[in-house]
Amino acid sequence: MTGSADAPIAPLRRAWRRARPSLLLVLPILLALAALGFGAAAWRAERTNRTIAALDAGEDAAVAPDAPVPLLVARVRFLAARDRLEETEPLVAALDRAAAPEAAARARYLVANARVRDAFARIARSDLDKAGPQVTLARQDYRRALRDRPDFWDAKFNLDVASRLIRDFPEFDRTSGDEMRAEPKQIWTDIPGQPRGGP
C-alpha cells in the first residue's frame, strides 16, 4: 500500500532533485534584484523628500514634469508664493496627465490664491485694468479645483471672495471676459420710479 501511495510523489521528488541546484543558484540572484529595486525606490523617495524640504525652506530646485506628484505640488507652491505663475502651467498640466485630481486641485488652488493676492495689490494701486484679468483667471482656477475636488471648502470660500470682487468692480467682468453668463442689460435703476438718464 505504501508503495502505491508513494508512486505519484516519486516523479515530484525526482523533479525537485533536478531543479534544486538551479533554484539555489537563481534564488539569491532574484533576492539581490529585489533588494536593489527596493533600495532604488527608497533612494528616489529620499531624494524627493529632500527636494520637497528644500522647496518648503525657500530654496529653488528644478523639477521635471514627470516628477512624483507630491514634488510637483511642492514646486507649484514654491512658484505661486513668488508670483512665478507662468512656470506653474506645465506642472499643473503634468498633474492632470498623472490623473491626480486631488493634487491638481491643490495646485490650482495655490495658483488661484496667488492671482487673487496679485489682484488685491493691483486694486490697492488703482491698477484695475490689470487686476481684472487676474481675478477672472483666479475664478477659473477655483472652479477647476472644485471640479476635481467638489468638497474643497477653501476653494469654495475663495471663489466666493473672487466673485465678490467682480461684483464690487463690475468693470472687471466687462474687460476680461469671464466664462460666466452675461447679465441682461438693465434699462432702469434700482430705485422704483427713477428711470436712468432722464432730463
* Structural domain count of the chain: 2
Q: Are residues 86 and 135 in the same domain?
A: yes
- Residue 176 in contact with residue 136, Cβ under 8 Å? yes
Q: How confident is the model at residue 197 (pLDDT cuts 50, 70, 90)?
A: very low
Q: Which amino acid is at 47?
A: R
The pLDDT value recorded for residue 173 is 55
pLDDT at residue 42 is higher than 80 = no
Q: Are residues 45 and 110 in the same domain?
A: no
The pLDDT value recorded for residue 130 is 87
Q: Are residues 69 and 101 in the same domain?
A: yes
Q: Are residues 70 and 155 in the same domain?
A: yes
The pLDDT value recorded for residue 180 is 45
The pLDDT value recorded for residue 158 is 93
Residue 195: strand pairing partners? 188
Q: Are residues 70 and 156 in the same domain?
A: yes
The mean per-residue pLDDT over the stretch 113-141 comes to 91
The mean per-residue pLDDT over the stretch 20-40 comes to 72
The pLDDT value recorded for residue 37 is 72
Residue bearing the bigger pLDDT, 159 or 177: 159
In this structure, is residue 192 part of a structural domain?
Answer: no
In this structure, is residue 29 part of a structural domain?
Answer: yes
Q: Are residues 51 and 113 in the same domain?
A: no
- Is residue 29 classed exposed, middle or buried when 0-12, 13-18 and 19+ CB atoms within 10 A define those classes? exposed
pLDDT at residue 114 is higher than 60 = yes
